Structure 1
Amino acid sequence: MKSAWEKRKRLGYMPIGYKLMLSYLVFIIILITVNGYISHTMYDKSMRNQTSANIKNTLVQIRDNVSYKTDDIIRISSTLYEDDSFIDSLRIEPTDKREINERYDKVLRPKLESASKSIGLNLRMFVYYNNSTIDEVYVNYNKPEAQYQEKVINLLKYNRIVHQPWYYSFPNEEYGVTMQWKQVEDDRGDDRISMIRRIMDLSVPTKMKEVGMMRFSVLIEELFESVYFRNLGEGAVLLVKDRTGKIIYASNQQLHDAKEASERAPITLASMAKAHPPGEFLTLQEYMPKQGWTIVAYVPLTIIKQEAERVRTYILLICLLCFVLFTFTGIFMSRYFSKRITKFVSVLNAFREGDLHKRISYRGKDEFSQIATALNGMGEDVEALINKVYLTQLQKKEAELEMLQTQINPHFLYNTLSSINRLAKFGENEKLQKMVVELAKFYRLTLNSGRTLIPVSSEVEQVNAYLDIQKVKYGRRLEVTFDVDVNVWQFETIKLILQPFVENVLKHAWSGDRIHIRIVAKLDGGDILYRVIDDGMGVRQERIAEIMSASNESETGFGIRNIHQRVQLQYGEQYGVSIFSLRGAGTSVNIRIPARKRKLFLEDLEDDQGSG
């Protein structure tokens, strides 16, 4: 007949070592893959966000620098726009020649020169008027030497501009607001741009009248000096577009060359696409509402991509290295634990099949050593118990055996060993160790060299070992409290008078999914009072009376009556068991015995050494 071990192998049994290794590998693969993917994604996103934030801040600074220069021009123009004496000088037509010259020398020229000097740029200032008494003053910029003159004032009559498209397309006047930035007259050829606004007569409050136009022409390169592509990085493109989308300024050298080659035509997106392949740029922009301009930045993603590729390669290498190291570590650890667990499982299966002679040979100072010692001890204790059951012929021993078999569930050992086997299979080493140690302790204390009278400490330790085994089964559903007076340790007691009541609670007292047991041992006068208290469903008084009835010969309540009779037989009828219960509130079992000091036997010394 094949053993259970061979049957499981034939049915596709997989050793726990392989299960541990497979689960470990799956976990490691998932962990490394997710970690690598998240790390790369987060780094790539962080790089892009950081680059975008840096470029955005740079664009804001560029916009502020350009705005500062344009706002300075607007501010100076506003001083003329709101200067009544300046406006009257352009509007009024005196007849006296002396007054005409005085108006020019004391009003027009000083104010225009002051305004021109207040602007720290290469400025060409134009004032267009419709006053026949004012002579024109201008510079011919077609001459080479005139190209480099700065802060030049030009007074020109209206007939020079009234037929120009930029003049008759100029928007309707909104006082203090209407102005335009555009390239007019010779601005395009000289790489300049002008700020244009009207000069209005407000002498009649109900009607504004145009008396002239102001034009402040500045070099584009000087105005957009801060719009420099190297501020954003090598290969970046910085553009300034007007309201129509035409590019009025480009800082990248390639686009600048393209602009020169196209005979000073406006740069379009087509020329930029030709200079740089599409889809290779991070695009950001800043709008300037007063001027109607948009500063656009195209930053190549090549650097970011190269850095991302480098980091991706680094992460892949790290993940591969971690996988190799973790795999070898997993194989080693799996084999290490699998060999030891296999030994325990083989011994447990031998115990299960009735071979209690098999032992584990294990050297070490870890938990496995403790489990091996406990399991060997359990085998020895169980074998000794069985031998005593079959070898003893004394009636007292037979009666005690019958009592033990009645008090201890016949399936308790089998179920506990099955639980140990299951824990070993699933690799729950800590629970397995605890259960084996407590089971060995339970049986060692239960057997107790065949003595009926044992120390109180042994009785309490025995029930504690039983409860520790049950805690593995019930987990947090079972709560236990010990309230033991240290003064009772010096006395002796009949063994196995607490554990049956605890077992009875776990079998019959549940009310819900949890239960609390309190075990008390204290001195009460000259007696020792044990109490087993639970908060379970309780017992009817009629049922208690039926259990404690001496005339009851049924198996129901036999264990309780057995303990009661053993106590009375040993100590007298004034001692024994009493039960108090309230339905829905719980039950309290009281066991009273006399407080008698124990005698120290050689077996006690051996038990103490074994416990240590």
Structure 2
Amino acid sequence: MKRKIIRFLNPFMNMPMMGKLILMLVAGILPLLITSIYSYTNTKKILISQTYQSVKNMNMQISSNINKNLETYMQISSIVYTDTNLKSYLTRDYQEDYDFVTAYQYINRLMYSLLVANSSVYNISLYTHNLTIPTDGKFVHHISPDTSTIAWLADPSSYGNILYKGTSVNTKGETVFSLGRALNFNNQNYTYAYLVIDIPEYVLYSQIENESRQKDIYITDENGVIISTKNKELLSAKLEDVLGVQVFSEPDNVLQTATVNNKKVMIVYNDMINGWRTVTIVPLSSILSDAAKSSNQIAMISILCIVISILLLLLISRHFSHRLKVLNRQISMIVDNNFSYQAKITSTDEMGQLSASINIMARRLDEAINEAYKKEILRKRAELHLLQSQINPHFLYNTLAGISSLAFRGDSNEVGKFINHLSQFYKISLNQGKEYISIGEEVKITKHYVALQNMRFKDMFLFHWDVDEAVCENQTLKLMLQPFIENAVNHAIRDDDQPLNVYVRIFRNDQAIFFEVEDDGIGIHEEVLESISRHELSAGYGISNVDSRIKLSYGEEYGVSITSLLGKGTKVTIVIPLHKKL
């Protein structure tokens, strides 16, 4: 048996080296071809599955974003729907021309405030049967027999519910979609007006614009009519008529393929809360081209590995043992994080080039590690700036609301004082973009904020300050106290007739500086405290924001802690290291 094997191998053993290499290459190509075919088939299935899941997740994210926008518009409709003053003004019988002035003042104030707070809304219209209140051509309109604008809201079975209308072109030539509702608050059998909210179509398209470059994405209503897509000529057309295939015959969790315009495509859709759908059409050719490229790459890698293996077999000998030891020493140095060692190169062949490449790699690794360290520092700074920037818009929104309230009351002196405190607050807090200010300045901007709140809510708060003057020159992150003062002002009041006491203390020990904000308000429920400690978004971002900024700047051992008893009050403690003075 052994002799037979030797006799069988003799031709190969006596073959020239070049012949042996050719035979080895042929032997390597056959399994490579088989592997490539299998890999292509398997990769094709995997890519289609992965693409489907990726598109499905994208659709879900788009639908989620649109749902959030629709919820905002639903909240606007709820505000109008439940406004009893508005109902009173719209149903009142006006005998004199001047009687409706007060009504228009209220309606204009309400509508403009909703439009300002929701910049994506194009217009809000009220349609009423009451002909004694004149139409203003913008917000209030009369219902007449030929009024087709609200015909889609006249279904008695939907009274009081929110309805949606597909795209239409308004008088300015802009494409909008509409949300409507019959106003019959407290009386389902009596509709005193109809509410129509117009929203620009680009609000929907902005959610799909970035994803529409290599695929077709459509937003359709419950009847399959296109509401938004890249090609505006297709708006108001039925999607199934455009594609020439049935789209919604299968559930939204089933992978569908069809032929559209002589091209095989994947169809993926999912439903939204109001019956709308997000539909994505992906050409299979783009997916399979990736599979072909992947298969070719696998084949090329396999061939390269075979060639390298043959070369390595030819190069391994005692002649190269010493040079292999040099290479081993180079690699050992890199493993030991010693990137400064550079081997001396005595030749330019493969081994010499490999040694040179290792030298270059060691230098680049050293540079990359240093660069990564610098980038990590810059990333933390950028993250800190981002957290800092989230505070100002929230505070500014509430402050402008206070100025608006004073302005409506016509108290110009108070408005002047209010704006002065606001300007002083921002003068210090902006601080030329610097992250740190002195504790004394932090106290000043907090007192300006307190002054603003006392002007907004007179005699509702008593602030008690106990600040160690010795720490006023020490540095701190700016806007650390204000979010907690704001939380006390907004959430801690127990009784409108009894002022809330807020105690602000700042002191130090040998290693740290302590900021305490304590109130005698209603306290915080235990589950809410747990949500705050887990930095959950539902608990608000103010506390989490300050805690994250402190930990980014000073380390995990510093930050914010909260204790609270229901009916007794809440105490917030902020700890930062005892930094040197500014």
In the superposition, the TM-score normalised over structure 2's length comes to 0.42
In the superposition, the TM-score normalised over structure 1's length comes to 0.40
- In our comparison, the structure showing a higher alpha carbon Rg is 1
